[in-house]
């Protein structure tokens, strides 16, 4: 079912009842030929349609309808002393001095040095792989003995 050009012109001028409009709209989604006819009809009736004059006037009118609230001008709430940047810097310096005085940084250096000089220990993954392969070897040996 294809809709005639005159029907699409009536559709563009909004001269159809609601049911027929809905049916035509659904048909437009599926039919490329009718979409072409609809576009042609829109071009033909373009002069008959009301034009929007002064788009900037339209924008101004819409902006006037939007309710704006005036921002409350007043004192900014005072920030607490622990929210200040300077407080954070002072705390960082104080903690660094405490850690240096207690020797924590020195102990960290010793631990990392010991870790670097220790012989490489087998990894956990390697030990699991070794145990698994020895288990499989034992199972094979048992199966061979049962087969004899």
Token pair recorded at residue 50: 């009301």
Between vectors from CA 80 to CA 75 and to CA 85, what angle results, nearest 5°?
105
Helices first, then strands: H and E counts in the chain: 7, 0
Whether 100 has a pLDDT exceeding 80, the answer reads: yes
137 or 54: which carries more pLDDT confidence? Answer: 137
Reduced to 3 states (helix: H, G, I; strand: E, B; else coil), residue 79 is coil
Stated pTM of the model: 0.36
Burial class (CB in 10 A: 0-12, 13-18, 19+), 21: middle
127 or 118: which carries more pLDDT confidence? Answer: 127
pLDDT of residue 124: 81
131 or 108: which carries more pLDDT confidence? Answer: 131
């Amino acid at each position: 079912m294809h809709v005639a050009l005159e029907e699409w012109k009536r559709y563009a001028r909004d001269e159809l009842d609601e049911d027929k409009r809905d049916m035509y709209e659904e048909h437009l989604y599926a039919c490329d030929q009718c979409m072409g006819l609809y576009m042609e009809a829109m071009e033909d009736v373009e002069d008959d349609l009301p034009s929007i004059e002064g788009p900037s006037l339209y924008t101004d009118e819409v902006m006037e309808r939007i309710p704006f609230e005036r921002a409350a001008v007043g004192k900014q709430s005072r920030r607490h002393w622990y929210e200040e940047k300077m407080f954070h810097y002072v705390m960082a310096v104080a903690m660094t001095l405490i850690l240096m005085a207690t020797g924590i940084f020195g102990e960290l250096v010793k631990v990392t040095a010991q870790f670097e000089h220790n012989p490489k220990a087998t990894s956990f993954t390697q030990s699991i792989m070794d145990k698994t392969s020895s288990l499989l070897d034992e199972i094979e040996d048992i199966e061979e003995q049962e087969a004899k």
